[in-house]
Structure formats: C-alpha cells, structure tokens
Structure 1
Amino acid sequence: MSSRTLTKAAAVLVTGGLMFAAVPATASALDLSALDTGSLGAIAPLLEAGSSAGPAAPTASVLKSVANFRDVAGNVGDGYATADGKHLKRGVIYRSNALTKTSDDDKATLLELGLADVYDLRGLGEVADKMMGGEDKLPAGVNYVPTPIDAGDLVKLATTLKTPAEGTAYMEETNRSYVTNSDSRAAFAQVLTALATEEGAQLFHCTSGKDRTGWTAMLLQSIAGVDSKTIMDDYMVSNAYLEATTQKTLGMITAAIGADAAANLTPVLRVEENFLKAGLDQITTSYGTMDDYLTEGLGLSADTISKLKAKLVS
C-alpha cells in the first residue's frame, strides 16, 4: 500500500470517529473539508420518525456543526426516568463527538447553554495531529480539560482485519479495556470526579462520541439509576446521529483501500449492543458489580458518587 493511500485511509477513519497512528510526514493528506460531520443531512427524516436505535432520537440536533451532540439526560421530554420514579435533569451534562469544526453559531449556542468545562477523552495524538481532527474550537471562557484515553493503532487494524467479525471482536475488546486498563480507569475517574464538583454545564467527548464517550454516559446514567434498556437505547442512538458521516466515510474507505476493507471496518465505525455488553460483562468478571467497579476500579469515593447522583437527578 502506498503512503498516499495509507494517508487517505487514516484520514477517513479518523473522520469516522477513530484514531490512526501517525502516517509518514511526506504523505499527502486527504482534504476532509467536503466531509460534513455536523449536518444531519439525509438522516433527519429517520430522527423525526424515531428509529430502531431507541426513543432517545430527537427531531433535531441542538448543534448543527457537531453531529453527535446530545444531553446525557436525553434530548426530549423530562429526561430519562430513574428506578425511584424521578428523572434526570436536562441541561446539566452533555456528550458529543469532537468539537473540531464548531461553527460560530454553535459556539454561541454553547454559551447560551451555560457551558463551563469540556473534557476531551481523545488520545494526545488525536488532538495534536490536525489530520486526526486537531484541537477543539470552543467559545472563549470555556475551560478545556484534556483527559486522554488512547484509541489505539488502527493503521495496522485497517490492513489486518480479514472479516467484519474481527472488527466486531476488536470493538468488544476495546470496551473490555475500559475495565481492565488502569490508565483508562484513571481517566474515567478523573472525568467523573470533575463532573461531580464543577459548576455550570459540563461536556465530555472523544472523537466520534460513541465509544469512550458512550462508556462515560453509561456510567453516569447507571449512577443515576436509569434502567439498563434505556441506557442501551441511548448508547445505540449514536448510529443514527453518525449515519450520514459513516456512509460517506465508508465510501472514501472503499475508494482508498477497497470494498473488503470497508466491509471489515464497518463495525468499528458503529456501535453494537454487544460492544457495551462486553464491557459490562467484564465489570462482572473483574469486580462483581457496577458499584464495586466505581469504588474499587475507578477509586470513586461514596461522596463523589452521591454528588453525581444529586447533580444528575431532579
């Protein structure tokens, strides 16, 4: 594979929400300006009608330049219900994909929402390399907090995956690593601790807002007492928000590497229930319960967990 082709492959996969290792400095980068990661485009009718992804799909995105931006409490109604009959508070904690293409209008909207802090879960290489997305574009005065969790070397993955099943297995192992990897646990603990104590609206994100971000949202919703079906439905909504970008990305992968590579990598660009379930099963294997994962695995204090629940639940 030529360096030019490898660079194209790297660029399109990062745009779809993933991180590649650095490509040769002499390689020609693909111009990603035509790939609109904010507009819902053809996906809007699906969102308006509701989708198989679950009830959390809203009729419109609050931000136009950030495709997977949404409220941890859900974007419609009173906020997700909890086991004790209460609801999550909307407008407190948000999740999204990377804010690297935030428009001026959307920056103004973020200020209107009272955004105070942004926690960036992308690996340092994802942030530093402009081809990997570059730095967040935030409104003046918003506090930026790097909280890196490396996404791994997907250049090798792109050239070694032989079947879609291997892509699925890779994503399942990625979710298990959120439980087994000490650096990942430390980063999740840092984010949750900050979310419990900082004032103003909070936001966390990774590159596509589906994996590292999806895991963080699951933890918050679990702490708040949201039922497992609602949590899974909310996790799966990323497929709806990212569908337009995913289809464009797959087309570019096909052109750069071939149709087989696109098929093999398709699971990596999406979320599946078994991805999250693999991580949850690992919690059971490693810690027994979610509570023990939070306290023993992440090292969260009972006070921090109580503050998070109080902040999240009305």
Structure 2
Amino acid sequence: MGIVTSVTRDGFLLPSAPNFRDLGGHRTTSGHTVRTGVLFRSDALHSVADEDLPVYHGLGIRQLIDLRTAHERERLPDITPDGAEYAAVAVQDPDAVGANFADVLADPESARAMFGDGAAERFMHAVYRELVTDETALDGYRDLVERAADGPTALVFHCSAGKDRTGWGAALLLRLLGVDHATVVADYLVSNGRQESTDRWMRRLSANSGLDWADLVPMTRVRPEYLETALTQIDEVYGSFDEYVAEGLKVSADTVERLRERMLC
C-alpha cells in the first residue's frame, strides 16, 4: 500500500516547489467547504527534490496539468507523480512577449524598451488582460475547468512561478465554486511569500539585461491590481463573469455543476 500524505493549506508541503499548495479548505458563500486533497496548484515541478518525492508521490495525484508554453516544457520537463496522466494545456500564445520574456531579458536593448522605466508593471497588466481574452487562454482554461470537474481523483496544475497563469486558473476555479472575492484575492496573494526560487531565477536572467532589480520586481510578485485588471477586462469584453464562463470559456452549466458536486462538501 502506498504512502498517504496528510495535507494542510499551511506551510510548505514541498519545500523544493514552494508554491505547491492545496486549493481546498476555503468556505463558499453558500456555506460549503472546498474539499482538500483534490485540487492542487503549484510552481514548476521539474525540480522536486529527492527528499520531497515520497510526499509528492503520496498525494494520489492522477492528473498533472502543465500550463507552460512548449519552450518552457521542453527546457524543464516535469517530474510526473506516480500513476498520473501528464497533460500540456497551454494558456498563453507561444508568440506573445509574455511567453518569451526570458529571451527579451537576454538582450539589454530589448529589455530596457520592454521592462525599463515602469514598463514591467504595464506589461503585467497586459498579460492579465490576455489571460481572459486570448484564444489560447480561453481554450486552455476551459480544458482546466473540465478536467477539474471530471477527475479522476486529485489534480495539480502549474506554470513556472505558480503565480500568474496558475493564479488566474485558481481564481477562476474558486470563483466558480462560490468562494467570495476577498478570499480569492487572499489565496492569490499567498504566492508572494513563496517566490524565493523565482527571484533566484529572475536574478540570473536579468544579470546581463542592464536593468535594476527594482525594474523587474513587478514581474516577480502578484498584486491585487493585476487580478482586478483581469476582472475589469471580463466586464468590458463579456459583460459579467457568468458570461465570460458561458460565452468566452464556453464552459457549460452542467460542467460547473459537476465541478461543484465534486469539489464541495
């Protein structure tokens, strides 16, 4: 019989993947609770340390959803949990600048033009607008919701830092489950305390960019304003969150009901 891991939303379940955490435990406006041990979010899963593998393989995860671009996936392939199906579900156009900013940082002239003088913050707002309107994002997040609704058993979804593409996916799922806005934002902001690995990676990337670290900080953290940008874009383009789900994502009411039946107790 395999190891069964006890899960809480506090602390670092996998220190080598510090933004790996359970989306369960939140209360909904209808008085239900999101089940624990069923839906996990994470940062990159290529570097799960040997000492963390017993916990990782013991979570009962049967689906790993990789939200990264093909270039990211090929450069740093995931460690897949024992018995899990791996699925590449991109939510970002591979030709968008947001999907290739590492290449931009390698060129000082491009880096200054794209991220200098406060441009990094504007860049992040643009990324969040694309996450709710770009066709690749709409297809990918629909796939994520449907997989979360249908199972089987536990699922983990992730990107590189686990904060933006994954952060929007988590906000979407929690909102569909009926978790209130303040709690969704609070869960989103937890990522800020789990970015040491991202900071080290970004500092290496930016070493030859000619930019000050302060220029890049907006890209290394989540901010409530980024999430609000996505929600404002939804209102402006679709009219409401419900219309975004039905007309943008094309997620059916039956799928939402299956998600709630599976995830709420």
TM-score, structure 2 length as denominator? Answer: 0.87
Structure 2 residue 62 is the aligned partner of structure 1 residue 110: no
Q: Distance in 2 between matches of 1:127 and 1:250?
A: 18
Provide structure 2 residue ranges, at least 5 long, that are not aligned to the other structure.
1-7, 93-97, 105-109
Instruction: Rate the CA distance shift 1:229–1:254 in 2: closer, same or farther, 3 A.
Output: same
Query: What is the deviation of 1:254?
Result: 6.0
Distance 2:56 2:203 in 1: 32
Aligned partner of 1:223 in structure 2 is 176
Deviation at 1:246, TM superposition (A): 4.4
Matching residue of 1:160: 113
> Match of 1:13?
none
Superposition map of 1:25-64 within 5 A: 58=10, 60-64=11-15
Q: CA-to-partner distance for each residue in 1:40-60, whole Å, 9 max, x for gaps?
A: xxxxxxxxxxxxxxxx982x2
1:255 Cα deviation after fit: 4.0
Matches within 5 A, 1:127-146: 127-129=73-75, 134-146=76-88
CA distance in 2, matches of 1:262, 1:301: 44
Where does the alignment leave 5 or more consecutive residues of structure 1 unmatched? 1-55, 74-78
CA distance in 2, matches of 1:107, 1:124: 25
Q: Identity over aligned residues, as a percent?
A: 32
> Cα RMSD (Å) of the superposition?
1.9
Aligned residues: 247
CA distance in 2, matches of 1:203, 1:274: 26
- Flag the 1:140–1:80 CA change in 2: closer, same or farther, 3 A: closer
Shift of 1:108: 2.1
1:270 maps to which residue? 221
* 2:185 aligned to which of 209, 229, 232: 232
Confirm whether residue 305 of structure 1 aligns to residue 251 of structure 2: no
1:244-281, CA deviations, whole angstroms, 9 ceiling, x for partnerless residues? 234434654564334x3422111011111111110010
2:209 maps to 257
Matched to 1:96, the amino acid is S
Distance 1:168 1:180 in 2: 19
Taking structure 1 as the reference length, the TM-score comes to 0.74
Structure 2: distance between partners of 1:271 and 1:68: 13
Tell me the equivalent position of 2:26. 80
- Is the contact between residue 287 and residue 293 of structure 1 (CA under 8 Å) also seen in structure 2? yes
Match of 1:48 in 2: none
Structure 1 residue 111, shift from structure 2 partner? 2.7
Q: 1:91 to 1:103 in 2, by over 3 A?
A: same
Residue pair 2:12, 2:20 contacting (<8 A) in 1 also: yes
Report the Cα distance in structure 2 between the residues aligned to 1:276 and 1:91, rounded to whole angstroms.
25
Partner of 1:198: 151
Q: Secondary structure of 2:90's partner? A: coil
